[in-house]
Amino acid sequence: MKKIGIMTTGGDCSGLNTTIQRILTGATKRGWQVLGIMDGTDGLYVNPPATIGLNDMLLPIENARLAGSFLHNGRATALNFETAAAQGKTDEFNAHLKKSLKTLNLDALILIGGNGSVSLAWANRELYQDLQLICIPKTIDMDMPLTENTIGFDTAVQQLTSFCDQLFLTARSHHRWFVVQSMGRDCGQLALHAGIASGASAILIPEIKFDIDNLVSHIQNANSDYGIIMVSEGISLRGHSGKPADMISRKLSASGILNRTAFPEHIQRSGDTVATDRILATRFADCALQAIENNETYVITTLDCNNVHTVSLSEFVSAGEQVSDPKIPELMTSNAYISPDDPLLDVAQNMGIYIGETK
């Protein structure tokens, strides 16, 4: 009988609980023992490790749609990879994690995380040398290479789109524009998808340079006196500081365009998991369990041309653009961004949406 562990790390998103529940279902069918590691790697630092036996827990399938993580994603006050690096305790932290994993005596560990968590796992792969390490990609940013989608992205797009749908009503009532700031870090996928879905008049993303005067002119010449201007949190405006939405709002106001800013913030990480995310979570869970059966290790599940399979973590890391993590400078994370050839950019332009100076 195999003994496997599950942990969720990094930022939360909708779809994590679906993934946990599906892994548990598939593992139980195989007669495996399943341990949930609480608070990600934070739970491995405490003594004894913070775990919970999932086989005897009731994880109703109707609750699997809920956002967040049954296992939690970490504590801000705990010693983790980030705080250990800041305090010069990386060696001590890693040694404790390795000891905890040995104590748990796992055959395999399924890590559900974003590009930071997966890049960290690969950078510290010696910690997992005595077990099979299988990663599953999740993030609302959809900035991970070698996969066409990540768990949580579709629900985040729906949440942000629904937020904008409601704003349109008050925008119309008051002949007003709303500058909506999306999450996404340095990747504009969330802003681009939700912007198109909601019918935004302009979408500003980090991957495409924009001219603020052209944006203003576009809004002034619009066939409407209200609407949505979608702004990704990763954009910058030369000579200005502050939140991107505030910067754009000030420029619009200076040109006589009535507007307000709106910050959906963490509702983008919440919401009942949409069907496509549930299906992806189920497919990734099944793929991860098959990888364990096939004695794979140091791999990550991926969606490619609607096929789900695993690729090596070394391939995952080398395939993305290497960027220094702002909180752990010595860590290089593997990132993916919107390609200039992304067909959604052409769609946006064909719909008359201002997306910057693409040509």
pLDDT in tens, 172-217: 999 999 999 999 999 999 999 999 999 999 999 999 999 999 999 9
Q: How confident is the model at residue 106 (pLDDT cuts 50, 70, 90)?
A: very high
Mean pLDDT in residue range 272-287: 98
Q: How confident is the model at residue 27 (pLDDT cuts 50, 70, 90)?
A: very high
Q: Alpha-carbon distance 101 to 153, whole Å?
A: 30
- Decide if 246 contacts 256 (C-beta within 8 A): no
**Amino acid (one-letter) located at 32:** W
Going by their DSSP bridges, the two strands 332-335 and 321-324 should be labelled as antiparallel
Label residue 159 left, alpha or beta by phi (over 0 means left) and psi (-120 to 50 means alpha).
Answer: alpha
Which CA distances in Å does 198 have to 163, 166, 167, 192, 222? 9, 10, 10, 10, 16
Predicted local confidence at residue 121, as pLDDT: 96
Q: How confident is the model at residue 58 (pLDDT cuts 50, 70, 90)?
A: confident
pLDDT in tens, 291-311: 999 999 999 999 999 999 999
Share of the chain above pLDDT 70, in %: 100
Predicted local confidence at residue 60, as pLDDT: 86
Residue 325: alpha-carbon gap to chain centroid: 15
CATH of domain 156-269+340-350: 3.40.50.460
> Does the pLDDT at position 334 exceed 70?
yes
Predicted local confidence at residue 11, as pLDDT: 92
Predicted local confidence at residue 329, as pLDDT: 84
> Does the pLDDT at position 75 exceed 60?
yes
Mean pLDDT in residue range 56-79: 88
Predicted local confidence at residue 79, as pLDDT: 83
Predicted local confidence at residue 357, as pLDDT: 92
- The more confidently predicted of residues 213 and 80 is 213
Beta carbons within 10 angstroms of residue 73's beta carbon: 21
Residue-wise over 322-353: b if at least 16 C-beta within 10 A, else e? ebebeebeebbbbbbbbeeeeebbeebeeeeb
CATH of domain 3-151+273-319: 3.40.50.450
> Does the pLDDT at position 359 exceed 70?
no
Fold agreement (3-151+273-319, 156-269+340-350):
yes
- The more confidently predicted of residues 83 and 29 is 29
Helix axes 153-173, 189-198, angle to 10 degrees: 50
- Three state DSSP letters for the chain: CCEEEEEECCCCCCCHHHHHHHHHHHHHHCCCEEEEECCCCHHHHCCCCCEEECCCCCCCHHHCCCCCCCCCCCCCCCCCHHHHHHHCCHHHHHHHHHHHHHHHCCCEEEEEECHHHHHHHHHCHHHHCCCEEEEEEECCCCCCCCCCCCECHHHHHHHHHHHHHHHHHHHHHCCCEEEEEECCCCCCHHHHHHHHHHCCCEEECCCCCCCHHHHHHHHHCCCCCCEEEEEECCCCCCCCCCCHHHHHHHHHHHCCCCEEEECCHHHHHCCCCCHHHHHHHHHHHHHHHHHHHCCCCCEEEEEECCEEEEEEHHHHHHHCEEEECCCCCCCEEEECCCCCCCHHHHHHHHCCCECCCCC
Peptide bond into 48 cis (omega under 30): yes
pLDDT in tens, 214-238: 999 999 999 999 999 999 999 998 8
Beta carbons within 10 angstroms of residue 221's beta carbon: 7
What residue spans define the domains of the chain? 3-151+273-319, 156-269+340-350
- Single pTM value for the model: 0.97
Which CA distances in Å does 313 have to 78, 118, 122, 203? 27, 8, 6, 33
> Does the pLDDT at position 328 exceed 90?
no
| pLDDT, the chain, mean | 95
